[in-house]
Amino acid sequence: VRHALLLSKPVVANRNAQSEVLVGAAAYLVEEGDNRSFGAAMITVVVDEAVQAKLQAEARKLSAGWDSRRFQQDLVELYRKVN
């Protein structure tokens, strides 16, 4: 899911606490176990350009602050503090 968001790809996922925190408004979330709604969401994301554009814009906003180099530097610093 993170890779899809980083690439601004529309995401369809099951609604649960983890997915809501991770994707927020950047994904089309459906109730777990509702296969009919999941399929409808997949079709909607493919054929409805407005939904697709909205999800892509939200994904760009969400992933804009993600910087792998900064993450790596922060992680190294955290490891140094722990040791």
pLDDT digits (tens, 9 = 90+) for 27-70: 999 999 999 999 999 999 999 999 999 999 999 999 888 877 88
- Can you tell me the distance from the alpha carbon of 24 to that of 54, in angstroms, rounded to the nearest whole number? 12
Helices assigned H by DSSP within the chain = 2-6, 17-23, 35-47, 49-63, 68-82
Taking the model in full, what pTM does it have? 0.75
Residues in contact with 1: Cβ distance below 8 Å, sequence separation at least 6, in sequence order: 11, 13, 19, 22, 23, 27
Residue 67 pLDDT: 75
Does residue 25 surpass a pLDDT of 80?
yes
DSSP-assigned beta bridge partners for residue 28: 12
Does residue 26 surpass a pLDDT of 90?
yes
